[in-house]
Amino acid sequence: MNRSMKLATLLATASFGVLAAASAWSAESLQDVMKRRGLNEKDVLAAAKTYTPTGKRDEFLVFSSGGQSGQVLVYGIPSMRILKYIGVFTPEPWQGYGYDDESKRILDEGSSIDGRKVLFGDTHHPALSETDGDYDGQYLFINDKNFPRVAVIDLRDFETKQIVKNPILKSEHGGTFVSPNTDYIIEAAQYPAPLEDDFVPLEQFNEKYRGAVTYWRFNREKGRIEPENSFSIELPPYSQDLSDFGKGPSDGWSFTNSFCSERYVGGIERGRPPFEAGCSAKDTDFLHVVNWKKAEELFKAGKGKKINGHVVIDLATSVKEGVLFLIPEPKSPHGVDVTPDGKLITVSGKLDSHTTVYSFDKIMAQVKAGKFSGKDEYGVPIIDMASVVHKQVELGLGPLHTQYDAKPCVAYTSLYVDSMLAKWDYCEGKVLDKISIHYNIGHLMAMEGDTVHPKGKYVVALNKLAIDRFNPVGPLHPQNHQLIDASNDKMQLLYDMPLPLGEPHYAVAISADKLKPHIRYPHGTDSRTEEKHPASVRAGSERIERKPGKVEVFGSVIRSHITPEIIEVTEGDEVTVHLTNLERAQDETHGFAVSKHNVNLSLEPGKTASATFKANKAGVYPYYCTEFCSALHLEMEGYLLVQPANYKAAETAKAKEGVAYTQKDYDGRVKANVDTQKVIDSVVGYITSVNYKDFPPVVALVEDATDQLNFAKGAKEKSEDFAKKADWQNAMLWAEQWFQYQVKAADIGLRAKTYLEQHGAKKVQ
Ligand code: CUK
Ligand code: CUA
């Protein structure tokens, strides 16, 4: 069978495959399958609620913390299918994150501290950007508890664009949460420490150790945090915890919990009881209530002082200017969550069976009247708890976090100790339903459940333990995210999803239709700056530039070759390879790896990325594309030749080729190409005979196929020129390249044809 015949056979089987699959489907009934797999009706109902047929998409996308991995996970609801890991605080090889020069600039800077590299990230709370309190699908933020820092991810390409290190905190937890228009991103301290970097003995804990909340200014047009326009407020040395911004009537205020307001400093080895005893002795801790709009005014008026180059408003100023108030909250509190209407604030105490709902109106009444029950040791006014409580509701043991439902007054709260999730009415203060989860739920996530317009429908329990839920894989168990149907009065457990990454504390879910990511980058984009890459090239302008000790390659990749294919350098040279992916086709990513040099790029269509390395050892190093991008992917290869310093080319004569071609070879190749063209023409004929322009994915495929056919034309002309000169070697090789472009065009054409057939394309006249 010659090659064009193979293509014709492919064309025929492409439509036949659909029929074959349909007949296999009817062999077993639903009852048969239920019996075979031991499923009951409830299981099948749960399956029907989550199963997402092949080719169908999810209604919501989840951004989950990847815990110690320092990454963010993206998965769909209701299918629970994982779609992506986003490299944030740690290198991610597949995406080239932390390998290409462009992302290294972000990650190296963002993970360097005092001359050390921090190679993990204890990520906790992702936050989506908001407009008027609703998710807008533009940006994602996430914090690192261990090395206090915050990252910005652009949801046009799901890539990390910026990491800002907190200049005054030594650990943090209450971040990231955004103000209703994403003007600020909050990051609150966890374990108190001196705000300066000096050593201070623990004996001076009360005097010199401090907490703080940082308000990072976000510039939405630039898509970046502006450290110079950001500030912090100093807080007493209580262990600050989760935070939330007010909204609606409470806009302009923020709320931060604390535990260990006992200011206990532990010391088992000194014969003292451990932290856990000393930090939970009191019945209440403090909710910090912050007038951040006022704090912003003070910052702008220059009322702060600089610590490590960052402006901090000290406690005395906050007290004097009415920025900071405290309210007692029971007991070892954890989550603080403002209701969608911004009127109420829910706080759960881990060691209290109640969840407390505070009224923002009542808090403001006390503040305006100047009615305080006292002051703490740092002079911060304390508001009497009873005077501002709206309701206290007994939900169960170990309440932690609260999210809101689409129905007014309905909330969901996680119960860590009980391993349950409670659905309750925070207006009336009564429990509506409870469901067991497996096991020890930490955070929970309702769809857009921390916005002003929650979407209801589903809740996900982010469990701390999985114990026996999955096949055992050793003592370190997977994490367990459990999907719960929340669309009816009674909640129903639908699905257990194991996550093989660090502890994902929190996740946020957004309606999928709010996300509009790029299909491809504009030609030659540096994805990290989101600007035209100065080293990008167009087809034909690839080149190698040499300076003493330096070699710079301006290359390209496109199915199925890397330009250049030979890079010659001298031992000791510093080599930079910039590669631009010239593809316009969806999903045609190429990779680039060089033997033994830790060079690894991911080049999505339109992207330009660079790798700089030292060619420190003479030798022969193949390089190649790491993504199976086409039938001739394995041939997408080249050689880095590192010559010894004193090397002189001994053999200047033309290298002998493996095979010598004749006119007969050339004529045979051309005849096959002409036949192939007929097959392509028939596919093109089909596509243009139907309403393909009504199908945007097909329009993109047609554009791509047109590119390939134009390349084929170029190669054809070259082969004919050489044939005229009777240079059969070059004529034959260019005719072969002409055929390679035809194969790519045919492959794309087939994809388009199959799509049209499956999507009911109609004949046009
Ligand atoms: S946290 Cu609450 S259960 Cu938000 Cu870090 Cu883990
Ligand atoms: Cu490009 Cu494989």
The predicted model gives 9-36 an average pLDDT of: 64
Residue 732, both tokens: 């034959």
Q: Do 106 and 223 belong to one domain?
A: yes
Q: Do 188 and 322 belong to one domain?
A: yes
pLDDT in tens, 597-649: 999 999 999 999 999 999 999 999 999 999 999 989 999 999 999 999 989 87
Q: Above 50 in pLDDT, residue 500?
A: yes
pLDDT in tens, 638-651: 999 999 998 987 65
- Residue 506 and residue 135: Cα distance in Å, rounded? 16
Cα of 345 to ligand 1 centre, how many Å?
A: 18
Q: What pLDDT is recorded for position 25?
A: 59
Number of domains observed in the structure of the chain? 3
Cα of 634 to ligand 2 centre, how many Å?
A: 7
Q: What pLDDT is recorded for position 666?
A: 94
State the ligand closest to the CA atom of 442.
Answer: 1
The predicted model gives 263-288 an average pLDDT of: 92
Q: Do 529 and 510 belong to one domain?
A: no
**Mean pLDDT of the residues in the chain:** 94
Which residues does residue 499 pair with via DSSP β-bridges, in sequence order? 479
- In testing the pocket of ligand 1, which one of 171, 242, 441, 463 has its CB within 8 Å of the most ligand atoms? 242
- Residue 169 and residue 232: Cα distance in Å, rounded? 10
Which span out of 71-80, 583-592, 725-734 was modeled with the highest average pLDDT? 71-80
One-letter identity of residue 320: K
Q: What pLDDT is recorded for position 3?
A: 47
Residue 462 CA: nearest ligand 1 atom is 3
Please tell me what DSSP assigns to residue 377: T
Label residue 6 by pLDDT band (50, 70, 90): low
pLDDT in tens, 548-594: 999 999 999 999 999 999 999 999 999 999 999 999 888 999 999 99
Q: Do 574 and 482 belong to one domain?
A: no
Omega prior to 78 cis, within 30 of 0: yes
Q: What pLDDT is recorded for position 515?
A: 98
Residue 628 CA: nearest ligand 2 atom is 2
Residue (of 194, 409, 198, 168) closest to 307 by Cα position: 168
Cα of 580 to ligand 2 centre, how many Å?
A: 13
**Residue after which a domain boundary falls, among 453, 480, 514:** 514
One-letter identity of residue 180: P
Cα of 335 to ligand 1 centre, how many Å?
A: 8
Q: Is residue 5 part of a domain?
A: no
Label residue 491 by pLDDT band (50, 70, 90): very high
Q: What pLDDT is recorded for position 655?
A: 64
| Cβ 435 vs Cβ 455: under 8 Å | no
pLDDT in tens, 185-211: 999 999 999 999 999 999 999 999 999
Residue 77, both tokens: 């609801």
Residue 624 CA: nearest ligand 2 atom is 2
Label residue 11 by pLDDT band (50, 70, 90): very low
Cα dihedral 430, 464, 44, 37, rounded to 10, equals -150
CATH number of the domain to which 99 belongs:
2.130.10.10
Which of these ranges, 124-133, 291-300, 644-653, has the smallest mean pLDDT?
644-653
Q: Do 542 and 609 belong to one domain?
A: yes
Instruction: Report the phi/psi class of residue 760: left, alpha or beta, with left for phi > 0 and alpha for psi in -120 to 50.
Output: left
- Residue 390 and residue 360: Cα distance in Å, rounded? 9
Sequence-distant (6+) residues with CB within 8 A of 517 are 155, 156, 157, 158
Sequence-distant (6+) residues with CB within 8 A of 486 are 405, 412, 423, 446, 456, 457, 458, 459
pLDDT in tens, 651-703: 555 667 788 999 999 999 999 999 999 999 999 999 999 999 999 889 888 88
Q: Do 316 and 439 belong to one domain?
A: yes
pLDDT in tens, 227-251: 999 999 999 999 999 999 999 999 9
In which domain, by residue range, is 104 found?
60-514
CA-nearest residue, atom 1 of ligand 2: 590
Helices 3-25 and 663-689 pack at an angle, to 10 degrees, of 40
Residue 416 CA: nearest ligand 1 atom is 3
- Residue 125 and residue 403: Cα distance in Å, rounded? 14
Residue 570, both tokens: 């001298």
Ligand 1 environment, Cβ below 6 A: 124-125, 173, 242, 334, 400-401, 442-443, 505-506
Q: Do 268 and 326 belong to one domain?
A: yes
- Residue 633 and residue 69: Cα distance in Å, rounded? 31
State the ligand closest to the CA atom of 627.
Answer: 2
CA–CA distance from 154 to each of 101, 427, 489 (Å)? 19, 37, 37
Q: Do 339 and 294 belong to one domain?
A: yes
| Cβ 185 vs Cβ 177: under 8 Å | yes
Q: Above 60 in pLDDT, residue 708?
A: yes
SS3 (DSSP) at 246: coil
CA–CA distance from 600 to each of 522, 592, 624 (Å)? 22, 5, 10
CA–CA distance from 42 to each of 39, 65, 413, 438, 713 (Å)? 8, 31, 25, 18, 60
Q: Is residue 618 part of a domain?
A: yes
Label residue 433 by pLDDT band (50, 70, 90): very high
Cα of 257 to ligand 1 centre, how many Å?
A: 12
The predicted model gives 94-112 an average pLDDT of: 97
Residue 513, both tokens: 């239709």
Q: What pLDDT is recorded for position 13?
A: 46
State the ligand closest to the CA atom of 602.
Answer: 2
State the ligand closest to the CA atom of 637.
Answer: 2
**Residue after which a domain boundary falls, among 584, 613, 643:** 643
Q: Above 80 in pLDDT, residue 37?
A: yes
- Residue 230 and residue 166: Cα distance in Å, rounded? 10
| Cβ 256 vs Cβ 336: under 8 Å | yes
- Residue 466 and residue 617: Cα distance in Å, rounded? 49
CATH number of the domain to which 612 belongs:
2.60.40.420
| Cβ 100 vs Cβ 477: under 8 Å | no
Q: Do 530 and 508 belong to one domain?
A: no
SS3 (DSSP) at 637: strand
Q: Is residue 445 part of a domain?
A: yes
- In testing the pocket of ligand 1, which one of 64, 122, 124, 437 has its CB within 8 Å of the most ligand atoms? 124
Q: Do 503 and 630 belong to one domain?
A: no
Q: What pLDDT is recorded for position 654?
A: 62
Q: Is residue 657 part of a domain?
A: no
H/E run at residue 337: strand 333-338
- Residue 266 and residue 281: Cα distance in Å, rounded? 13
Residue 588 CA: nearest ligand 2 atom is 1
Residue 625 CA: nearest ligand 2 atom is 2
Residue (of 153, 72, 190, 87) closest to 506 by Cα position: 72
One-letter identity of residue 206: N
Cα of 625 to ligand 2 centre, how many Å?
A: 4
Which residues does residue 234 pair with via DSSP β-bridges, in sequence order? 212
Ligand 2 environment, Cβ below 6 A: 590, 625, 627-629, 633, 636
pLDDT in tens, 312-331: 999 999 999 999 999 999 98
Residue (of 493, 511, 495, 393) closest to 454 by Cα position: 511
Backbone angles phi, psi at 296, to 5 degrees: -65, -40
Count Cβ atoms below 10 Å from residue 759 Cβ, excluding itself. Answer: 11
H/E run at residue 410: strand 410-415
Q: Is residue 337 part of a domain?
A: yes
Residue 634 CA: nearest ligand 2 atom is 2
- Residue 639 and residue 594: Cα distance in Å, rounded? 9
Which residues does residue 566 pair with via DSSP β-bridges, in sequence order? 639
Q: Do the bridges between strand 492-499 and strand 479-485 make them parallel or antiparallel, or are there none, so unpaired?
A: antiparallel
Cα dihedral 690, 693, 697, 701, rounded to 10, equals 80
The predicted model gives 417-422 an average pLDDT of: 96
Q: Is residue 397 part of a domain?
A: yes
| Cβ 255 vs Cβ 183: under 8 Å | no
Length of the chain: 765
Confirm whether pTM is higher than 0.85: yes
The predicted model gives 23-31 an average pLDDT of: 76
| Tokens 């992917």 found at | 633
Cα of 530 to ligand 1 centre, how many Å?
A: 33
Q: Is the dihedral of CA 103, 104, 106, 107 positive or negative?
A: positive
Q: Is residue 103 part of a domain?
A: yes
Count Cβ atoms below 10 Å from residue 519 Cβ, excluding itself. Answer: 15
Q: What pLDDT is recorded for position 18?
A: 44
Count Cβ atoms below 10 Å from residue 263 Cβ, excluding itself. Answer: 16
Q: Above 90 in pLDDT, residue 765?
A: no
Residue (of 14, 10, 17, 22) closest to 754 by Cα position: 14
Cα of 172 to ligand 1 centre, how many Å?
A: 12
| Cβ 447 vs Cβ 455: under 8 Å | yes
Q: What pLDDT is recorded for position 353?
A: 86
Which ranges in 305-378 belong to alpha helices (H)?
315-321, 360-369
Residue 335 CA: nearest ligand 1 atom is 2
Which residues does residue 61 pair with via DSSP β-bridges, in sequence order? 76, 510
Q: Do 687 and 750 belong to one domain?
A: yes
Q: Is residue 277 part of a domain?
A: yes
Q: Do 205 and 140 belong to one domain?
A: yes
CA-nearest residue, atom 3 of ligand 1: 442
Residue 633 CA: nearest ligand 2 atom is 2
Cα of 237 to ligand 1 centre, how many Å?
A: 20
**Residue after which a domain boundary falls, among 580, 613, 643:** 643
How does DSSP assign 446-498, residue by residue?
Answer: EETTTSSS--EEEEEEEES--TTSS---SSSPPEEEEEEE-SSSS-EEEEEEE
SS3 (DSSP) at 350: coil
